[in-house]
Structure 1
Amino acid sequence: MKFLTGGLFFLVLINNLIASDFPLRSKFPSVPFISTEDLNKEYTTINIVDVRSKFEFDVIHIKKAVHIPLPKEGEEAGFVQKIGGLKGKVAFYCNGHTCAKSYEAVVIVQKNGNKNTFVYDDGIFEWTKKYPAESVLLGQSPADPAKLISKEAFKGKFLSKEKFSVDSVKENTFLIDARDEVQRKKTPDFAKSAALFPMDELVKVLDKPHFKGRAKGKTLYIFDAVGKQVQWLQYHLEKNGYKDYYFLEEGVWSFFGAEGASCTSGKC
């Protein structure tokens, strides 16, 4: 009896640990998942789809993955058609355990009759750590796992809105608004004189002499809409030798909420 009780306790403990590691599995109970090891075993035959933004995909992706971003609401038909053109099993992935896009992709195609679809919810970083030869980081393959930026290193570059708004306007600073034009409905007063470099443009000029000259000897203070795109910008900054930089925690959202971040339908 004690053995059975102990065994049940162990099973409950394991299930609870899995639930905490993969919190979205309970939210999407009908979505089947595939492990890192099984994805590797089926690597040569399975279709792998990256549903993130092109900006994220260009920084890091699974080598054989095709990029088909998660569609906006009302545009699912085109997405379903593209997935339908892939023959055989399909695995969708995004950034990891708490990224819902890959789950949502499975739900969309399942509703349209494609049941041979799975979520790879370990995500791109876990894959790259285990299989760097089948990964691409900033255009290089094999990827170098040592160049992956940890959560701690990323979060260490965030400043609160109070500190960011004060420090970014001191001497020897370079304040950059990296939002797209459509995201600039509202701007905090301190940042209205910021240099305007949409994220895609900013990435392209980081290695250019005119930008390097402007940034020389200065601390870069960069903000986006909600503090998410800067995660991928950080890879480009590090690649180009920039070390003295900070990001605004939660972006312009921290000042104005969804309206200031130009969010629509609850998404930013």
Structure 2
Amino acid sequence: MNSMNHHWSRHAWLLLVAAVLLGGTAWADDEMPGRSRYPTVKPVELAQLQAMRPNVIIVDARSHYEYETLHIKGAVNVPLGEQGFVEGVKALRAESSHPIVFYCNGRTCMKSYQAALEAQNSGIVNVYAYDAGIFDWVKAYPDDSVLLGRTPVDPARLLGKDKLQAHTLKPAEFEKRIDDNALILDVRDKFQQEAITLFPMRQHSVPLDNKALQKYVDQARQEGKTLLIYDEAGHQVRWLQYYLESEKVASYYFLAGGAKGYFDLMMGDIVGQNSRQ
């Protein structure tokens, strides 16, 4: 790194530290629970992060699919929990001494703090957590956001919980829709798909990848069929909904609680039946 780059890197670091120490209290701890749970990790406010760009390395700690759906413009994706996370962050640190700021979905998402803590515990210094999350960022800075590969992002395109609930069915209702007019898609990770199949001989196992899903979206459109989709715990389908809406899929539903919720319900029914015998 030449002397000029070193100067600006140190300047950026000093500004960010000052902002965090002097002005990082805009939110109460109950609104940002990660701040009390992870006291050794320094938080970064929404406006602070924007002011420091591009003199920080912004890291999206979420899954690759979440990142591909919606992310901060210029952010790099290093998913927490995947093999190679620490090595990936160390590679970023080797390229630059700029502050590294992790983020995830929102104020109650702890991945930003967990990622920063794991980096700290691995000897990586100058790391922070932006804990307001991706949705607050998009609403404040749509020009610096990317949705399905396009920027700027119209905040009106952000999907709320009501939209997700309108396309989510409880297990009994989900099962009722399984007929010749439905395509059932299991979008769990491969190792999860191998563990248990909810609807054998009826479903298609597909990776959570829009290119792989396009085949079934096209088929449902051409044949006028309903897409019935489940993930592991009902969390990832919220991101899949952005793709389905962008494709103007006429009819689709998700399984409430995913495979785990379905399995837990079945086990509960079995236990209940046994207790009554």
Q: Residue by residue, what CA displacement relative to the aligned partner does 1:215-252 show, whole Å, maximum 9, x if unpaired?
A: x2x32211111112211110110000014211001111
Choose which of 58, 79, 89 in structure 2 pairs with 1:69.
79
Q: Which runs of 5+ in 1 are unaligned?
A: 1-14, 261-268
Specify the SS of the correspondent of 1:220: strand
The CA deviation at 1:71 is 3.9
User: Cα gap change, 1:108/1:211 in structure 2, threshold over 3 Å: closer, same or farther?
Assistant: same
Code of the residue aligned with 1:57 in structure 2: it is Y
Aligned residue pair count: 237
- The answer on whether the counterparts of 1:206 and 1:237 sit within 8 Å (CA) in structure 2 is no
Partner of 2:222: 213
Quote how far apart the aligned CAs of 1:115 are. Answer: 3.5
Aligned to 1:237: 244
Contact kept in structure 1, 2:86 and 2:118, CA below 8 Å:
no
1:65 to 1:161, Cα distance in 2 relative to 1, 3 A: same
Query: 1:30 aligned to 2:40?
Result: yes
Counterpart Cα distance in 1 of 2:178 and 2:213: 23
Contact 1:71 1:79 in 2 (8 A): no
Counterpart for residue 9 of structure 1: none
Secondary structure in 2 matching 1:20: coil
Query: Higher helix share goes to which structure?
Result: 2
Q: Do the aligned partners of residues 251 and 88 (structure 1) sit closer, same or farther apart at CA in structure 2, a change above 3 Å counting? A: same
Q: Which amino acid aligns with 1:181?
A: K
Distance 1:206 1:240, change over 3 A: farther
In 2, are the aligned partners of 1:68 and 1:79 still within 8 Å (CA)?
yes
Deviation at 1:175, TM superposition (A): 2.2
Matches within 5 A, 1:1-268: 18-72=28-82, 75=84, 77-85=86-94, 86-165=96-175, 167-170=176-179, 172-184=181-193, 185-188=195-198, 190=199, 192-200=201-209, 202-205=212-215, 208=218, 210-214=219-223, 216=224, 218-257=225-264
C-alpha distance in 2 between matches for 1:205 and 1:88: 42
Q: Are the counterparts in 1 of residues 73 and 146 from structure 2 also a CA contact under 8 Å?
A: yes
For the 8 Å contact 2:103–2:112, the answer to whether it is kept is yes
Contact 1:172/1:219 (8 A) holds in 2 = yes
Q: CA deviation at 1:180?
A: 3.6
Cα 1:171/1:41, change in 2 over 3 Å: same
Listed one character per residue, the Cα deviations across residues 174-203 of structure 1 (whole Å, up to 9, x for unaligned) are 322222432122123x56412333322543
What whole-Å deviation, never above 9, does each CA across 1:104-129 have from its counterpart, x for those lacking one?
11101212333421101111111011
TM-score (norm 1): 0.80
Q: Is the 8 A contact 1:50 1:57 kept in 2?
A: yes
Distance 1:229 1:203 in 2: 14
For residue 12 of structure 2, what is the aligned residue in structure 1?
A: none
- Contact 1:80/1:108, CA 8 A, preserved across alignment: no
Q: Closer, same or farther in 2 for the Cα pair 1:194/1:69, shift >3 Å?
A: same
Partner SS for 1:56: helix
How far, CA to CA, are the matches of 1:76 and 1:128 in structure 2?
Answer: 25
- Percent sequence identity over aligned pairs: 36
- Superposed structure 1 runs of 4+ greater than 6 Å apart: none
